[in-house]
Amino acid sequence: MSSPQPQRLALVLGSALLLRLGLFASTGISAALERRPELTSPLTSFRSLKEGVFLRDTGFDPYAGGVFHHSPLYLLFFTYIVPVYSRALTAALWSLADVLGAVLLVRIWQARSTLSAASRKPADKSRDYLVALLYLFNPYTLLSCLARSTTSLDNVLTLAAIAGAFTGQNGLSMTALAVAAQTAWYPLLLLPAILLVQKQYSSARPKWIVGAAAFVAVFAGLTLVSISVLGTGWIHRTWGIVLTASDLTPNVGMWWYFFTEIFDHFRLFFQGVFQFHLAIYVAPLCLRLSDPAFILLIQIGAISTWKSYPTLGDMALWAGFLGCFPEIVANLQHPLLSLTVHLYTSILLPLLHSLWLLTGTGNANFFYAATMVYGLNSTLTIADVLGAGIVHHIKGKLRELTSTEATSTKDGEETENWSIVQLATLD
Successive 10-residue mean pLDDT values, the chain, 427 residues:
73 96 91 93 94 93 89 95 94 97 95 63 74 95 96 96 92 94 93 91 72 92 94 92 91 92 90 92 92 95 95 95 93 92 92 89 90 94 95 84 62 49 50
C-alpha to C-alpha distance for 282 and 57, rounded to whole angstroms: 41
Q: Is residue 399 part of a domain?
A: no
Q: Is residue 193 part of a domain?
A: yes
Find the angle CA(52)-CA(53)-CA(55) to the nearest 5 degrees: 65
Closest CA to 318 of 167, 38, 105, 41: 105
Q: Is residue 117 part of a domain?
A: yes
Phi-psi region of 202 (alpha: psi -120 to 50; beta: other; left: phi over 0): beta
Closest CA to 193 of 295, 120, 65, 58: 295
> What's the pLDDT score for residue 303?
95
Q: Is residue 387 part of a domain?
A: no
Find the angle CA(153)-CA(70)-CA(26) to the nearest 5 degrees: 50
> What's the pLDDT score for residue 186?
94
Closest CA to 149 of 25, 313, 23: 313
Q: Helices 72-80 and 170-184 sit at what angle, rounded to 10 degrees?
A: 100
Q: Is residue 411 part of a domain?
A: no
Question: How many alpha carbons lie under 13 Å from residue 424 in its C-beta half-sphere?
Answer: 1
> What's the pLDDT score for residue 403?
67
C-alpha to C-alpha distance for 425 and 110, rounded to whole angstroms: 26
126, amino acid identity = S
> What's the pLDDT score for residue 27?
85
Closest CA to 299 of 166, 107, 109, 158: 158
**CB-based contact 168:201 (threshold 8 Å):** yes
CB-CB neighbours of 344 under 10 Å: 14
Distances (CA, A) of 372 to 43, 141, 142: 21, 21, 23
**CB-based contact 243:264 (threshold 8 Å):** no
Q: Is residue 152 part of a domain?
A: yes
Phi-psi region of 27 (alpha: psi -120 to 50; beta: other; left: phi over 0): beta
C-alpha to C-alpha distance for 258 and 364, rounded to whole angstroms: 11
> What's the pLDDT score for residue 416?
47
Helix (H/G/I), strand (E/B), else coil: 378: helix
> What's the pLDDT score for residue 117?
40
Q: Can you give the three-state secondary structure of 207-256, one letter per residue?
A: CHHHHHHHHHHHHHHHHHHHHHHHCCHHHHHHHHHHHHCCCCCCCCCCHH
Which residue range is the domain that position 249 belongs to? 5-282
Find the angle CA(322)-CA(177)-CA(206) to the nearest 5 degrees: 95
CB-CB neighbours of 7 under 10 Å: 11
Q: Is residue 236 part of a domain?
A: yes
C-alpha to C-alpha distance for 420 and 412, rounded to whole angstroms: 23
Q: Is residue 414 part of a domain?
A: no
Number of domains observed in the structure of the chain: 1
